[in-house]
Structure 1
Amino acid sequence: MRKTFNTSYKEALRERILAASGVKRAGLVLKGAKVLNVFTRELEEADVAVQDGFIVGIGAYRGEEEHDLTGRIICPGFIDGHIHLESSMVRPEEFERAVLPHGTTAVVTDPHEIANVAGTEGIEYMLRETEGLLLDVYVMLPSCVPAAAMEESGAVLQAEELRRFYDNDRVLGLAELMNAPGTIAAEDGVLSKLEDAARMKKRVDGHAPGLSGKALNAYCTAGVASDHECCKKEEALQKLRRGQWIMIREGTAARNLEALISLCKDPWASRCMFVTDDKHPGDLRRLGHMDWIIRRAVLLGADPVTAVLMATLYPARYFGLRENGAVAPGYRADLAVLTDLEEMRVERVYKNGRLAAENGRVLHKGIPSAVCKKGADGLGGESFQSVFHSFRMAPVRTQDLKLEPEGDTVRVIQLTPKELLTRERLEPWTHVAGFPPGVDPARDIVKLAVFERHKGTGHKGVGFLGGYGLKAGAVATSVAHDSHNLIVAGVSDSDMALAAEAVRKAEGGIAVVKGGTLLGILPLPIGGLMTPMTAQAVDEKLEELKRLAAGLGVREGIDPFMTLAFVSLPVIPALRLNTCGLIDVERQEILEVSFGETQFRNEKVGGKLYGSGENISPERK
C-alpha cells in the first residue's frame, strides 16, 4: 500500500500552491483566532487557510467557506503515541467517536492484545477495522506475542509472520519490546524482528521497567528508541541520557504523570511525549483523552505550550509523521480549536480540513471496513473466526480452585497503589472459618486464579492477591494482559467458579458474583476484549460493575478490572500469576506451579525455565 504520485497529486498540489499564494481563494479559511506556533512557541493572530485537507497559509486570506473563530486558539490535533485500542473495550469506530471531540486526530496503537488472542488474524482485523476511520490510526507491530516465554497465549508470532505487514503505510514500526532479557541476550528470534524493522527504517518502541547500566546500553544498542514504563524521574533521566524518548503515561491503571511532571520542561520535554497506553471508555467520556493529560499537566505546573507540544509536535517527530503536529503550510489540517490554553476545553475539531466535532459532539466520522460490519451472528459474519469465537476451554469447577498449604508461609502478590508494579508479601498460612485455606479478608488476602482459555489445555495457576480489598464474592475477567487468559479473584471457591463460568459462556467479559448469584456481567465477545456496544453503554455497564465490586469491598481508588487485568503479566516486576504458576519477574523464574491440589517447584535447565507440573505446555518441558 505504498503511496503513488500521479497526475491527480500534481493537480491537487497545484491548487494548494495557488491558494497559498493568494491567486485563488482557499476552500476553507478559519478567521480571527490565535494560532499556536509550535516552532516558535508564539500565539499568532492570523487566518488559517485550508485547501484539500492541507493547511496552505497563515496570514490574511479569503475562502470559499469562512468560519469566524474570534477569541479562540487553534492548535494542532492531538496525537496519542502509544495506546492499545482494545483496552477501550469498544470497536475502533466507537473509539473514534469517543476521542475526536477531545481533539485527538491521530493515535499509534499496538494491537498486541488482539494478537495474543488471534495472532495475525487479530492484527489484520484491527487494520481492517481502522482503515476507513476519519481518525488516523497508525500501527506498531506486536513484538512479543506471547509477552514472555512463561506465557500461554492464543498465538506465537515470529518475525516471518510480522514481515508482510510492513508493506502497509500505516505500520510505523515494532511495538514495545517487552522481552528486554531476550534483547540483551541477543536471542535470535528477537534479532530477526529487529533486523526487519531496521531494514524498513522503522521505529522500535521499548518496555523495560527498571533497566539501567550496561543492560540499558545493550537495549539501546539494539535500536530500542523509547520507553513508557518509567514511574520515577531518576529512571527516566537515565534513559534520556542514553538517547531514548520517554513516553509519559497517564492512563486508567498506570498514572505516571505526577511522578514525571518535572520532565515537562527544558531540556527534557522535547524528547518526551504524553501517552495513555490503556484507557477505559468511562475515562474517555468523563475526563477526556490527550486534552485531559495536557490539562492535568498544566495543573501540576507545566507550561501550557510545552504540554501541547508533548501531544503534538514531539510525537509526530518521533514517529516521522511529517504532515502532522503543527499548524503550518504543508501540514494536514488536523486542528483543535480551544477556548484557552489553561482549561484546554476543545470547542471544535477539524480533521483533514473538515469540521468533525463541535462542543463534544461528533458531526462527521469515518466509515469502517465493510468486511468487519455485523454479520448474521451479530458480529463479524464468517470473517475473523478466531477473533469472534476465541474461547476454547472446559467448564470451570469449584474443585479447580482448591489450593492446600505447603510449608508455613504463603506468597502474596501485593498491589502497589496507582502503579502496575507489585511486590512479594510473605504471610503465614491460615484457615479462617468460612473461607478457603490461605484466604483472609481481614488481612486483605484473597485467592487468585488464571485459566488458559485459547487452546483447551486445562492449564491454570492458583495463588493469592493482596491490596485488592475484596471481602466477599468474586470478580472475573477475560482481559488479562497480555495473553488474556481468564483471571478471577475472590474469597469463595464456588463464587470464583461461577464468575469464571459466566465469562466463559459469554466468550469473554467481566463478571461480578456474590453468594452464588451473578450480580452483573459485561460481555466482551470480540476476542474476549471488546464489544459491539456503544461507548456510552459500555461505560454505564462498567460503572454498574464497579459499584458492585466496591460493594464487595474492592478498595477505593482501585479500578477493579483494569488493575486485575495486569496481575498476570510476567514482564512487570515483581510478582505475577499466570497459567504457568507464580512468577518472579526480576529473576524470570517460576516460583510455584499449581495444578489441582498439587504444588510443584521449578527447576532451571540450560538457561530456560521448565516446570515439572502438568500445566507446563510440552514445548516448555
Structure 2
Amino acid sequence: MGRRTLLKAAVAGAGVAALGVPAAADPVRTAFAIRGARVFDGERVLDGLTVVCAGGRIVSLTRGPAPAAGLEEVDGRGRTLLPGLIDAHIHEHGIPRTDSPRFGVTTELDMFNLIPRLRADLGDYVAARQSDRATAAADLWTAGAMITVPGGHGSQLGLPKDFPWLRPGMSPAQHVDDRLAEGSDYIKFVVEPMVSSDPWPTISPEQGSAIIRRARERGVLSLAHVSMAADARWLLRAGVNGLIHTPQDRGLNREELWLAARSGAFVTSTLAIFHSLLNQPAYHRRYTDPRVTPYLSAAQRKFADARFPQEFPGDRPDLDAVHHNIRALAKAGVPILAGTDGANPGLPNAIGLLFELELLVQAGLTPIAALTAATSAPARHFGLRDRGRIRPGLRADLVLVDGDPTQDISALPGITAVWRNGTRIDRRP
C-alpha cells in the first residue's frame, strides 16, 4: 500500500487495520498530523517534517505533499517532536501511572517492586504495554523483587517478612528462576557495601557471577546495582548486561573504561538521585520552574518537597567522580541510559527525567546524546521494539516541545503536547 493510499485509509479507519491494529480499538481517537516540526527521531534530527499518526501508530514522516484531508492538524513550527521518553530506572510506589506522561515520560523501567504488588498488578502491566488502546498512563516493565542478602542494601527499607532474601547456602540460579516465575522482566541484584569503612553484607562475586550466568541461560538481562568502581570491574568481567548507577566513589581508570567498552554493557546514569541525596539547592529549584509547577500532581509535589536525611546510612557520592565517569564512559563508547531512581525524596517520578537529561549535558554529553539516552538507547537495550523512535509502524508515543532541546536541553520542560498511543493527553493533574 502506498503512502497516500495509507493516509486516505487512516482517515476512513481502514488504515488502522492496515497497521495491524483493530479498527474498532478506539472509536473516538482521530488520525492527526503534526506539521512543520523539527523531529528528533531517537537518533538524529530531521527538520520541517510532517508526522502522521492513526490508530495509535505512526503512519508516515514526509516533506512531500500535504496529508489527506480530514486529518486533525497540529502546528509544529518552531517546535521539536520527540519520541515518548523512557526512564530506565524508577521505583513503582503506587503513584498514579498517569503522572508520568504529563511530563513526556511514556515508558518506565521499574527496578524494584514488592512481590504482593507485582502479583496483583502484573497482568495489567503486561496487557497495557501490548495494547494500542487510548490511555493516559505510562507503560511499565519491572524487575520485581531485587536479589539481595539479609542485612544488605534493602534491609533498611523495612521489607516484609516474606521477602525472598538470598541467604547463605541458597542457590543464586534458583533465585533467578523464582523471580522469572513471579513475572520479572529482567533480573536486578545488589552489590552494595554502603559504607566503605564498615561494609554491609552484599552479594559476593561468586553469587553475582552465578546470577549473571543463569540470567543469560534464561535469555533475560542481568542488571547490577553498584556504587563502587572495584565492584563494577568484577561485574563487567562476569558479563553483566547493565550497571544500575554510575560508580560514585572514584573516577574509573583506563583499564576499567576499556573493560566497560569491551564488555558491551550499558550504564544507567541516575545523576538526579545523587544530586537529590546531597540536597543540592540548584537541583531542587527546578521544581519552581513555571513550565513544571502547574502540572505536578499531589504525589509529585510530596516527593519534590521531601528531602533525604542528613544522616543517610552510607557513603556520600562524589559528584565530581560521578560526572567524570559519565563523561569518560560515553567517550569510551559505553552506552549511557538515562534513569532517575525516582520516586525518592526530592525526586518525583517523570519530571526527574527531564532534569536527569540536563545533568547529563552538564556532565559532558551533547543534548542529542542525552535525548538518545532517554529514547532509542533504552528501547534498544531492553528490547522495546515498538517505541523509543519516531518511525512508521511504531507506537505513537510523542512529545512536542517549544524550542530546540537538541541544541539547548533546558528547553525540554517546555512541553506543549504529549500523545500516548496516538491520543493527546490532558496535562492537568
Q: Same fold (TM over 0.5)?
A: yes
Written as runs of structure 1 = structure 2, the 5 A alignment for 1:270-285 is 271-280=335-344, 283-284=347-348
Residue 206 (structure 1) aligns with = 224
C-alpha distance in structure 2 between counterparts of 1:284 and 1:348, whole Å: 20
Q: 1:318 to 1:160 in 2, by over 3 A?
A: same
Cα displacement (A) at 1:347: 1.8
Match for residue 173 of structure 1? 186
Task: Give the corresponding residue for 1:313.
Answer: 376
Per-residue deviation, 1:64? 3.1
Name the SS for the 1:166 alignment partner. Answer: helix
Q: Any conservation in 2 of the 1:79–1:106 contact (CA below 8 Å)? A: yes
Q: 1:396 matched to which residue of 2?
A: none
Aligned equivalents of 2:205, 2:175: Cα separation in 1? 22
Q: 2:277 aligns with which of 233, 253, 266?
A: 253
CA pair 17-137 structure 1, distance change in 2 beyond 3 A: closer
Structure 1 residues 257 and 211, CA gap change in structure 2 (3 angstroms)? closer
Aligned length: 324
> Would the aligned equivalents of 2:125 and 2:140 in 1 still touch at CA under 8 Å?
yes
Amino acid of the residue matched to residue 77 of structure 1? Answer: G
- The equivalent residue for 2:142 is 139
CA distance in 2, matches of 1:54, 1:317: 19
- Give how far 1:146 is off: 4.3
- Spell out, residue by residue over 1:397-418, the C-alpha distance to the aligned partner (whole angstroms, 9 max, x if none): xxxxxxxxxxxxxxxxxxxxxx
1:356 aligns with 2:403: no
Shift of the 211–302 alpha-carbon distance from structure 1 to 2, 3 Å rule, reads closer
In the TM superposition, residue 312 of structure 1 has moved relative to its aligned partner by 1.1
SS of 1:305 mapped into structure 2: helix
> Percent identity between the aligned chains?
20
Alignment of 1:173-572 (within 5 A): 173-178=186-191, 184-187=204-207, 193-212=211-230, 218-227=234-243, 228-231=245-248, 232-234=250-252, 237=257, 240-243=260-263, 244-249=265-270, 250-251=272-273, 252-253=276-277, 259-261=321-323, 263-264=326-327, 267-268=331-332, 271-280=335-344, 283-284=347-348, 288-298=351-361, 302-340=365-403, 341=405, 342=408, 343-344=411-412, 345-358=414-427, 361=428
Residues in 2 aligned to 1:247 and 1:149: alpha-carbon distance in whole angstroms: 21
Q: Describe how 1:54-133 pairs up with structure 2 within 5 A.
A: 54-59=57-62, 60=64, 61-62=67-68, 64-86=71-93, 91-93=94-96, 96-112=97-113, 114=114, 120-127=115-122, 130=125
Q: How big is each residue's C-alpha offset from its partner over 1:66-95, in whole Å with a ceiling of 9 and x where there is no partner?
A: 222222100111111112223xxxx232xx
> Secondary structure of 1:32's match?
strand
SS at match of 1:237: helix
Q: Which runs of 5+ in 1 are unaligned?
A: 1-10, 19-25, 115-119, 363-621
Query: Cα gap change, 1:66/1:351 in structure 2, threshold over 3 Å: closer, same or farther?
Result: same
Change (3 A) 1:54 1:233: farther
Distance 1:126 1:217 in 2: 36
Distance verdict in 2 for CA 1:256–1:211, change over 3 Å = closer
Alpha carbons of 1:217 and 1:38: their partners in 2 closer, same or farther (altered >3 Å)? same
Instruction: Give TM-score, length-normalised by structure 1.
Output: 0.46
Contact kept, 8 Å, 1:81 with 1:315, in 2: the verdict is yes
Higher Cα Rg: structure 1 or 2?
A: 1
Secondary structure, counterpart of 2:269 in structure 1: strand
Q: Normalized per residue, which structure has more strand?
A: 1
Q: In structure 1, how many angstroms separate the alpha carbons of the residues matched to 2:102 and 2:152? A: 41
Change (3 A) 1:121 1:218: same
Query: Are 1:34 and 1:72, in contact at CA under 8 Å, matched by a contact in 2?
Result: yes
Work out whether 1:31 is the aligned partner of 2:35.
yes
d(CA) in 1 for partners of 2:61 and 2:424?
19
The 1-side partners of 2:185 and 2:362 are apart by 33
Between the aligned partners of 1:257 and 1:269, the Cα distance in structure 2 is 21
Q: CA deviation at 1:51?
A: 2.4
CA shift digits 1:327-351 (9 cap, x unpaired)? 1123211111111212212221111
Structure 2 distance, partners of 1:332, 1:349, is 13
Larger proportion of helix: 2
TM-aligned CA distance change 1:196 to 1:240, over 3 Å: closer
Q: Please say if residues 33 and 72 of structure 1, whose CA atoms lie closer than 8 Å, have aligned partners that are also in contact.
A: yes
Deviation of residue 13 (structure 1)?
A: 7.3
Bigger Cα displacement from structure 2, 225-234 vs 100-109: 225-234
- Are the counterparts in 1 of residues 187 and 222 from structure 2 also a CA contact under 8 Å? yes
Gaps of 5+ in 2: 1-13, 22-29, 129-134, 167-172, 194-200, 279-316
Distance 1:101 1:203, change over 3 A: same
Output the CA distance in 2 between the equivalents of 1:80 and 1:182.
Answer: 26
Deviations 1:134-173 (A, max 9, x none): 20111123332446569584222566576366378x8431
Relative to structure 1, the CA distance from residue 300 to residue 218 in structure 2 (aligned partners, 3 Å threshold; closer, same or farther) is closer
Distance (Å, rounded) in 2 between the aligned partners of 1:257 and 1:12: 51
Query: Structure 1 residues 200 and 13, CA, compared in 2 at 3 Å: closer, same or farther?
Result: farther
2: distance between equivalents of 1:183 and 1:145? 7
Partners in 1 of 2:402 and 2:61 — Cα distance? Answer: 20
Q: RMSD in angstroms over aligned alpha carbons? A: 3.7
Contact 2:38 / 2:80 at 8 angstroms: preserved in 1? yes
